């Protein structure tokens, strides 16, 4: 559709709908004056010089000079699509969120991305993939800002700048490829061993998806759902692709990087254009909201840990279908602004220290990236719910706010808008207890276990998947210049599995070190009871 004539507050802006349509019989300036020539500058004679007086020349070039906006500091390269989410109603007993209701249809916009590469980097690199969904619900925007790997590198957002600096290209050479910063990346993940689990997923086939349409998505953190009575349930969100989860092999991925760096965005757009609409089922793993925030010995506030589906099955709650490509990459895919703090009644956060830092970071970065605080007014970011806030002014304000008293209570603007009470549809934070404690920077002792879940993952792999992981570690560590980093990498592998360590060491031409701590030695398959035995339950 064309530009809106109504502001986000429902006020008419007075704009003519055709104003920015870039169509019509005559070419005009941005101010609407008709042009007779846009190919020749105004000059003092046919051989120049060019006159400063040429306001059309200056407007045209000035606007062009400012076309680019900063790329995202992470997840700069992405592709997106529109679609619809239909709730099954199966979650209505644990969340009052209206969009989860039976057969409720909610428009969505999904952006898939790589993490480390710049906007112009290749699609099929080995990296984590972003999977961010904006639900335009009738109760406001809900953003599920997840990845295709169910755990994260770090446990606390304060390390996020560090892990990203370690993974981005080196400051001197700026070689623009994910994980080309081999020494710093491997230095970081072997010194901060909580990254072992995520890194192992990266080195597995999950790090090189075949298609965005064939990826799982994970909310990673534990969230808190709230029902109509205020009862709470802890959950982890999962997206399951109807097409199944598939990967490329390394050789395919490398060739695709060269012959078609747009492989994933082309695949997504082509599929949708041809009517092969990709679908994902949204599901939740549920856990009792106990004061410890633990489930069978697994710390639910530690984003480097999963809860195996054998212990907590994923229960389907709705279906998402992507059925329309963006019509303008910049307006939609580039200007969309996701934020984990965009929540609706029925969904709340937990104390996960990674999540808590994200609650600050997204709006903050978008103020720079999108030029001020009014980016929620951009068409792709606008809620489909009525807005009646008390915000005013700011860079790029497009609403024409009326009234003299943007505060409440007030006695001048005809009274005050209603504030929804707790029994209505307001977003009310769960009054969860905060443990009486001293201020500390230490994490819980359960955060010190960095190796039992990587070992669980390794033991769950088939022989061919293990071969791929061994080859990936050998290739990636082989690209490090520093011997000490390679050796530390092998020490980490020794804590996961002896064979994995020995095979990678052989590939690197180095001796395999002994593990400097105990291996968790149960085989998780096939009995579920043994899965639980993998964790040092205290």
The span of 363-371, 467-475, 486-494, 506-514 binding ligand HEM (CB under 6 A) equals 363-371
- Strand-pair partners of 279: 321
> Is the CB of residue 314 less than 8 Å from the CB of residue 283?
yes
Give dist(CA 302, CA 282) in Å, integer. Answer: 22
Give dist(CA 140, CA 138) in Å, integer. Answer: 6
Q: How far is the CB of 132 from ligand HEM (least distance, A)?
A: 4
In angstroms and rounded to an integer, the radius of gyration of the C-alpha atoms of the chain is 26
What is the residue whose two structure tokens read 């080859």? 471
The span of 42-50, 171-179, 365-373, 527-535 binding ligand HEM (CB under 6 A) equals 365-373
Give dist(CA 394, CA 413) in Å, integer. Answer: 22
Footprint (CB under 6 A) of ligand HEM, residues 78-97:
78
The span of 41-49, 67-75, 247-255, 506-514 binding ligand HEM (CB under 6 A) equals 67-75
Phi/psi for 447 (5° steps) reads: -75, -10
- Strand-pair partners of 285: 236
Residue 362 binds ligand HEM (CB under 6 A)? yes
Residue 346 binds ligand HEM (CB under 6 A)? no
**Any idea what the Cα angle at residue 125 is, between residues 122 and 130, rounded to 5°?**
90
Residue 361 binds ligand HEM (CB under 6 A)? yes
The kind and range of the H/E element at 110 are strand 105-114
> Is the CB of residue 299 less than 8 Å from the CB of residue 446?
yes
Token pair, residue 481, equals 């210049």
Binding ligand HEM (rule: CB under 6 A), the pick from 73, 378, 430, 510 is: 73
The kind and range of the H/E element at 82 are strand 78-87
Binding ligand HEM (rule: CB under 6 A), the pick from 155, 202, 293, 366 is: 366
Neighbouring residues of 485: CB distance < 8 A, sequence distance ≥ 6: 183, 186, 187, 190, 477
Nearer to ligand HEM among residue 132 and residue 347 (C-beta): 132
147 an active-site residue?
yes
Binding ligand HEM (rule: CB under 6 A), the pick from 77, 82, 96, 111 is: 111
Q: How far is the CB of 71 from ligand HEM (least distance, A)?
A: 8
Q: How far is the CB of 507 from ligand HEM (least distance, A)?
A: 31
Residue 358 binds ligand HEM (CB under 6 A)? yes
Nearer to ligand HEM among residue 176 and residue 357 (C-beta): 357
* Site mask for ligand HEM (CB under 6 A), range 130-159, x = bound: x-x------------xxx----x----x--
The span of 68-76, 198-206, 256-264, 385-393 binding ligand HEM (CB under 6 A) equals 68-76
Sign, CA dihedral 92-93-94-96, equals: positive
**Any idea what the Cα angle at residue 124 is, between residues 122 and 125, rounded to 5°?**
80
Q: How far is the CB of 333 from ligand HEM (least distance, A)?
A: 8
- What are the CA-CA distances from residue 317 to residues 38, 84, 89, 90, 425 (Å)? 55, 14, 7, 5, 21
Neighbouring residues of 299: CB distance < 8 A, sequence distance ≥ 6: 293, 305, 444, 446, 447
> Is the CB of residue 111 less than 8 Å from the CB of residue 333?
yes
Footprint (CB under 6 A) of ligand HEM, residues 172-191:
none
Q: Which of 82, 147, 182, 238 is catalytic?
A: 147
Binding ligand HEM (rule: CB under 6 A), the pick from 160, 280, 287, 447 is: 160
148 an active-site residue?
no
Q: Which of 55, 56, 75, 410 is catalytic?
A: 75
Residue 220 binds ligand HEM (CB under 6 A)? yes
Give dist(CA 449, CA 378) in Å, integer. Answer: 44
The span of 22-30, 335-343, 422-430, 522-530 binding ligand HEM (CB under 6 A) equals 335-343
Q: How far is the CB of 298 from ligand HEM (least distance, A)?
A: 16
Q: Are strands 223-226 and 105-114 parallel, antiparallel or unpaired?
A: unpaired
Give dist(CA 503, CA 495) in Å, integer. Answer: 14
Q: How far is the CB of 363 from ligand HEM (least distance, A)?
A: 9
Residue 303 binds ligand HEM (CB under 6 A)? yes
Residue 113 binds ligand HEM (CB under 6 A)? yes
Nearer to ligand HEM among residue 96 and residue 358 (C-beta): 358
Nearer to ligand HEM among residue 204 and residue 342 (C-beta): 342
Residue 365 binds ligand HEM (CB under 6 A)? yes
Q: How far is the CB of 361 from ligand HEM (least distance, A)?
A: 4
Short-list 200, 252, 149, CA closest to 470: 200
Kindly list the catalytic residues: 75, 147
List interacting residues with ligand HEM (CB under 6 A). Answer: 72-75, 78, 111, 113, 130, 132, 145-147, 152, 157, 160, 220-221, 303, 336-338, 354, 357-358, 361-362, 365-366, 369
């Amino acid at each position: 559709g064309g530009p809106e004539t109504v502001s986000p507050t429902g006020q008419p802006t007075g704009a003519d709908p055709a104003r920015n349509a870039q169509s019509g019989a005559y070419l005009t300036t941005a101010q609407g004056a008709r042009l007779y020539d846009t190919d020749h500058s105004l000059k003092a004679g046919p051989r120049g010089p060019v006159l400063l007086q040429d306001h059309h020349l200056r407007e045209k070039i000035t606007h062009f000079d400012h076309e680019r906006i900063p790329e995202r500091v992470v997840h700069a390269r992405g592709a997106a699509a529109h679609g619809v989410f239909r709730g099954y109603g199966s979650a209505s007993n644990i969340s009052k969120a209206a969009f989860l209701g039976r057969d409720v249809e909610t428009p969505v916009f999904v952006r898939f991305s790589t993490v480390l590469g710049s906007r112009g980097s290749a699609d099929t690199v080995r990296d984590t993939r972003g999977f961010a969904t904006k639900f335009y619900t009738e109760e406001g925007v809900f953003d599920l800002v997840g990845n295709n790997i169910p755990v994260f590198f770090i446990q606390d957002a304060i390390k996020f700048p560090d892990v990203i600096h370690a993974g981005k290209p080196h400051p001197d050479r700026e070689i623009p490829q994910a994980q080309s910063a081999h020494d710093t990346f491997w230095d970081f993940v072997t010194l901060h061993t909580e990254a072992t689990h995520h890194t192992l997923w990266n080195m597995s086939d999950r790090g090189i998806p075949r298609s965005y349409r064939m990826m799982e998505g994970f909310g990673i953190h534990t969230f808190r759902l709230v029902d109509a009575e205020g009862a709470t349930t802890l959950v982890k969100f999962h997206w399951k692709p109807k097409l199944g989860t598939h990967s490329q092999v390394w050789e395919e991925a490398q060739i695709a990087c060269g012959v078609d760096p747009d492989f994933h965005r082309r695949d997504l757009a082509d599929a949708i254009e041809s009517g092969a609409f990709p679908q994902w089922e949204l599901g939740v793993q549920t856990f009792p909201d106990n004061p410890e925030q633990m489930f069978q010995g697994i710390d639910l506030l530690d984003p480097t840990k999963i809860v195996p589906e054998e212990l907590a099955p994923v229960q389907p709650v709705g279906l998402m279908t992507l059925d329309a490509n963006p019509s303008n990459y910049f307006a939609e895919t580039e200007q969309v602004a996701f934020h984990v703090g965009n929540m609706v009644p029925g969904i709340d956060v937990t104390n996960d220290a990674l999540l808590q830092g994200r609650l600050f970071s997204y709006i903050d970065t978008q103020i720079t990236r999108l030029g001020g605080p009014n980016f929620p007014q951009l068409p792709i970011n606008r809620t489909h719910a009525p807005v009646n806030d008390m915000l005013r002014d700011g860079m790029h304000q497009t609403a024409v706010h009326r009234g003299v008293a943007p505060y409440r209570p007030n006695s001048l603007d005809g009274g005050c808008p209603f504030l929804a009470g707790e029994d209505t549809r307001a977003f009310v934070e769960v009054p969860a207890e905060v443990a009486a404690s001293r201020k500390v920077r230490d994490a819980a002792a359960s955060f010190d276990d960095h190796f039992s879940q990587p070992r669980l993952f390794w033991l769950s792999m088939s022989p061919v998947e293990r071969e791929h992981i061994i080859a990936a570690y050998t290739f990636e560590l082989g690209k490090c210049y520093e011997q000490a980093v390679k050796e530390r990498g092998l020490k980490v592998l020794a804590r996961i599995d002896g064979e994995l360590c020995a095979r990678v060491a052989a590939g690197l031409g180095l001796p395999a070190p002994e593990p400097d701590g105990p291996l968790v030695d149960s085989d998780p398959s096939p009995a579920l009871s043994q899965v639980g035995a993998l964790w040092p339950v205290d």
